Amino acid sequence: MKFFVDTADVDAIAELNDLGMVDGVTTNPSLILKSGRDILEVTKEIADMVSGPVSAEVVALKADEMIAEGRKLAQIADNIAVKVPLTWDGLKACNVLTNDGHMVNVTLCFSGNQALLAAKAGATFISPFIGRLDDINLDGMQLIADIRQIYDNYDFETEILAASIRSVNHAFEAARIGSDVMTAPPDVIKKMAQHPLTDKGLDAFLKDWEKTGQKIL
């Protein structure tokens, strides 16, 4: 499974990238706002830092305007994936931008039908939002499983990018089901390393080591 980091915080990206934990980055208008930086500037810095896809999102609602914005964003770097919403206009923009040779991430997916349309439109990535479905008492993981089955049925090349990851359980289940990619905030990726039995075992080992009176260095 590929790990994308869902943030525009360059320091957080750099830390994980140095550990080999970053296969790509996803941003959106909310994350750009949180960063407090110019979208073109911060996106360029991120794209220069990581070798994988960096999603930069359009903000227009009409297809022609999305295409124009997408083309401008794609000029930032060769590894930019233009992010468009899963609307009819977004699908039109996806098709045009894909035919231009750009990577396209179709976002805000909440149904298998939407995912099927995105694949037909040529999306590089489809981003189903797990956490937001859970928020309204629907099963976000079931959507990942449904899309996985649909795409496998017809050998679609569109990659499933599990988004709105809120917990380590989301990360685990997405991997178990077979999502190609997950995008998660840096803190969720770090928490994947934590386990209470690891902490308990380490504490016991260190207490026993102290009793030996030895030193390695």
pLDDT score, position 100: 98
Averaged pLDDT for residues 100-124: 98
Return the SS3 of 196. Answer: helix
Domain annotation for the chain: domains and CATH numbers? 2-212 (3.20.20.70)
pLDDT band at 93, cuts 50/70/90? very high
Are 24 and 57 in contact by the 8 Å Cβ rule? The answer is no
Return the SS3 of 66. Answer: helix
What is the pTM for the complete model shown?
0.95
Using DSSP bridges, classify how beta strands 159-162 and 125-128 pair: parallel, antiparallel or unpaired: parallel
Q: Which residues are catalytic?
A: 83
pLDDT, tens only, 127-152: 999 999 999 999 999 999 999 999 99
The owner of tokens 């030895």 is: 214
Q: How far apart are CA 106 and CA 96, in angstroms?
A: 13
71 contacts: CB under 8 Å, gap ≥ 6 = 97, 100, 102
